[in-house]
Amino acid sequence: MSAGGESSRERILGRVARAAASRGRLSHPGALATPAAADPVSGFVKCFTSSGGEVVQADRGRPANEWLTGFLQALEPGVVGVAVGPEVPAGLRPRLPDVAAAHAGAGISVAWGAVSESGSLILPSTGTRAVQLLPPVHVVWVPEGRVFARMEDALRELLHGLPAAVGLHSGPSKSADIGRTVVTGVHGPGRCMVVFI
């Protein structure tokens, strides 16, 4: 760090401290009490789908990876190659060729958890960012018991093993910057699909 930077640091902190001292230090109001849904899973589904996300029912009579393979092939356009996050266990990986995320028809992830009140998926991003962002379709396995009622509950638990980067995905990529018309799949995935496990 340069000497100039160091002096700017001291200068800024000094000015901030003087300003704070001139008006007294105000206390923190504590936690924000937001209501907790009695059934977090159905709350999540409602919120996530109203933001354009999709929730897909797996055929529980078949092995998960077989079901997913068929499901991806039946999409329009059909998925040929996939990018799969390293966190996805063998039983949840589709039987399709692995390709680079930039060329994959779908990215496959497992969520660390989900949040009911905001309809959000919590996706630690180490080693798997491209999988979550580059393919046009993102399929996310969500363990049903990992749906938190409130964002605060989820973030508090996340603190125990916070990775370098976390992404919250709450629907497909969208924009209304052109002509106030909502378009999806602007930069990130145009379809974001959740399958509960």
Name which of residues 112 to 141 contact other proteins (CB under 8 A).
Answer: 117-120, 125-130, 132-133
- Near other proteins by CB under 8 A: residue from 1, 3, 38, 90: 1
Beta bridge partners of 193: 54, 139
Residue window 44-63: x/- pattern of binding to other proteins, with contact defined by CB under 8 A: ---x---xx-----------
Residue window 85-114: x/- pattern of binding to other proteins, with contact defined by CB under 8 A: -x---------------x------------
The residue assigned the tokens 């018309």 is 181
181 is a contact residue toward other proteins (CB under 8 A): yes
- For residue 138, the minimal CB distance to other proteins (Å) is 10
- Near other proteins by CB under 8 A: residue from 3, 18, 78, 161: 18
**Count of residues that bind other proteins according to CB under 8 A:** 77
176 is a contact residue toward other proteins (CB under 8 A): yes
- Near other proteins by CB under 8 A: residue from 41, 54, 55, 174: 174
| Residue 101: Cβ-neighbour burial (10 angstroms; 0-12, 13-18, 19+) | buried
- Report the alpha-carbon distance of residue 145 to residue 140 in Å, rounded: 15
Beta bridge partners of 192: 138
- For residue 89, the minimal CB distance to other proteins (Å) is 17
**Which residues fall within 8 angstroms of residue 187, CB to CB, at 6 or more apart?**
133, 173
Q: Which is nearer to other proteins, 75 or 151 (CB)?
A: 151
Helix (H) or strand (E) holding 163: none
36 is a contact residue toward other proteins (CB under 8 A): no
Cis status of the peptide bond prior to 136, with omega within 30 of 0: no
162 is a contact residue toward other proteins (CB under 8 A): yes
Q: How much is the CA Rg of the chain, to the nearest whole Å?
A: 21
- Report the alpha-carbon distance of residue 55 to residue 58 in Å, rounded: 10
